[in-house]
């Protein structure tokens, strides 16, 4: 038995950083889309349009709504534009993945991609028609029916968390290629 075979049998080599980061990006996006679509279907099946369900002592309510716009119902009359924006986001993330070697960036981009695809799925396939569909939202915090904060869904949460993580990574100098810019290096470049 050769040394290479013994090493292969006895010890698993870790995945290269690039493969691990891209794998995490894809897996995260897939899990987010799955969770988003399952929770939306459950909400449509079990939550009444006219009545909110109180949870956690009133900290969270399930209030079913269909949103034709973006956050805060902005752009309601331009529903067709949102799938186009999603296509741009997907192309940008694929472009970023070509040089991706950072696991935290893989997670951040996976959260953004999953959130974008979750809501795009609604826009493309839900009523009132293709590329004009309304996004199913169901989570209202601190009051029913978006009384204190806009109603959202799992895709919205994922998108928000992904963007916050990406901003934190930028501010801490973590690069998508796995390197890190130190504070001293940042001062020299500015």
Q: Is the pLDDT of residue 30 over 90?
A: yes
| Residues 87-124 pLDDT 10s | 999 999 999 999 999 999 999 999 999 999 999 999 99
With cut-offs at 50, 70 and 90, classify the pLDDT of residue 18. confident
Average pLDDT over residues 54-67: 95
H helix or E strand, kind and range, residue 78: none
Can you give the pLDDT at residue 152?
Answer: 95
* Residue carrying structure tokens 């890190």: 180
Residues annotated as catalytic are: 137, 156
Distance CA 92, CA 137 (A): 26
pLDDT at 92: 94
Give 185's pLDDT tier (boundaries 50, 70, 90): low
**Alpha-carbon gap, residue 134 to 185, rounded angstroms:** 47
Other residues' Cβ atoms within 10 Å of the Cβ of residue 66: 16
Is the pLDDT at 31 greater than 90, yes or no?
Answer: yes
Question: 162 with 111: CB under 8 angstroms?
Answer: yes
Phi, psi of 176 (to 5 degrees): -65, -20
Confidence tier at 188 by pLDDT (50, 70, 90): low
pTM recorded for the entire structure = 0.84
């Amino acid at each position: 038995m050769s040394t290479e075979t013994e090493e292969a049998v006895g010890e698993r080599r870790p995945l290269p950083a690039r493969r691990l980061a891209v794998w995490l990006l894809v897996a995260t996006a897939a899990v987010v889309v799955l969770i988003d679509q399952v929770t939306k279907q459950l909400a449509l099946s079990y939550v009444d349009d006219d009545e909110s369900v109180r949870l956690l002592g009133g900290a969270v309510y399930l209030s079913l709504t269909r949103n034709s716009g973006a956050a805060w119902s902005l752009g309601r009359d331009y529903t067709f534009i949102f799938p186009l924006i999603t296509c741009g986001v997907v192309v940008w993330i694929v472009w970023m993945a070509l040089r991706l070697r950072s696991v935290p960036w893989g997670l951040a981009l996976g959260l953004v991609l999953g959130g974008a695809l979750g809501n795009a799925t609604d826009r493309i396939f839900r009523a009132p028609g293709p590329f004009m569909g309304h996004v199913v939202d169901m989570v209202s915090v601190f009051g029913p029916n978006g009384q204190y904060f806009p109603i959202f869904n799992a895709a919205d949460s994922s998108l928000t968390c992904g963007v916050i993580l990406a901003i934190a990574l930028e501010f801490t100098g973590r690069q998508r290629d796995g390197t890190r810019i130190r504070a001293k290096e940042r001062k020299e470049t500015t």
